[in-house]
Amino acid sequence: MNTVSERKKQVINTAEQLFSQRGYLATSVRDLAQALGMEASSLYSHVKSKEDLLWTIADRSAAEFFRRVRPIAQENTQSKEKLTQMIVVHTSVIAENIDAAAVFLREWKHLSEPRLSEFTLKRTEYEKIFRKVIREGVEENLFRHYDYGFSARTILSAINWTHTWYLPDGELTATQIGENLAEFLLNGLIRNF
C-alpha cells in the first residue's frame, strides 16, 4: 500500500468535506490540517496549496461527469431515452459523492486564472452535450423548440441542486430521484400531439 497516495486521498476527502460544509473561503489550511490531525506545515508535503485542492476536486468531478454522460449522448438511440439516462447518471454522480459535488457545483468560482477559465470552458462543454441531445429531440419532432441553452441550463440547474437535499438513506435511491427528475423535466420539453 502506498501511504503517500493514501494520505493524499485523505487530504482530498477532508478538503471535500470542509469545503462543502464551510465553503472554500471559510476553510483555512489550518482547519484542514487540524481535521487531519497534522501540523499545517506538514499539509504542504501532500499538496502545493489550498487552491490546488479545490482544482483537484473540481477537475476530478468534471472528469467523472464527462466520463459517465458523454457515452450516453453518443448512443444511437432516441433523444428522449438519451436525455433521461443522462439526467439519471448525472444525479447518480452527485449522489455518489455529495461533498465533491457540492464543491464542484458551488466553489469552483474561487479558482484563479488560468484555472477559472479552463473550468468555465469545461462547464460550457458539458452543457453543450445536453444542448446537442435536446436539439436532436427537436429535430426528431419529440421536443418543443425552446432556446437550447435555456433548456439545457434549466435541466442542469434542477438536477444540480440535488446535492442540497439528497439523503443516501432516504426513501428514494439516486436512480429513482434521477428518473423522477427526468420525467418531470422532460414533460416540459415533450411535444403534445
- Please determine, for residue 193, whether its predicted confidence score (pLDDT) is greater than 70: no
- Please determine, for residue 67, whether its predicted confidence score (pLDDT) is greater than 60: yes
**pLDDT tens, residue by residue, 7-35:** 899 999 999 999 999 999 999 999 999 99
**pLDDT tens, residue by residue, 39-62:** 988 899 889 999 999 999 999 999
pLDDT for residue 1: 46
pLDDT for residue 64: 98
Q: What is the largest CA-CA distance in the chain?
A: 66
Q: Are 178 and 159 in contact (CB under 8 A)?
A: yes
CA distance 4 to 170: 36
CA distance 48 to 187: 47
User: Chain centroid to CA 47: how far?
Assistant: 23
In our burial notation (b when 16+ CB lie closer than 10 A, e otherwise), range 16-52 reads bbbbbeeebeebeeebbbeebebeeeebeebbeebee
**pLDDT tens, residue by residue, 111-152:** 999 999 999 999 999 999 999 999 999 999 999 988 999 999
pLDDT band (50, 70, 90) for residue 188: confident
* DSSP class per residue in 73-124: HTSSS-HHHHHHHHHHHHHHHHHHTHHHHHIIIIIGGGPPTTHHHHHHHHHH
What backbone torsions phi and psi does residue 78 show, to the nearest 5 degrees? -60, 140
**pLDDT tens, residue by residue, 170-186:** 999 999 999 999 999 99
**pLDDT tens, residue by residue, 78-118:** 999 999 999 999 999 999 999 999 999 999 999 999 999 99
pLDDT band (50, 70, 90) for residue 3: low
CA distance 35 to 158: 33
Q: Position of cell 439526467? A: 87
Q: Are 93 and 101 in contact (CB under 8 A)?
A: yes
Q: Which three cell numbers stand for residue 73?
A: 449522448
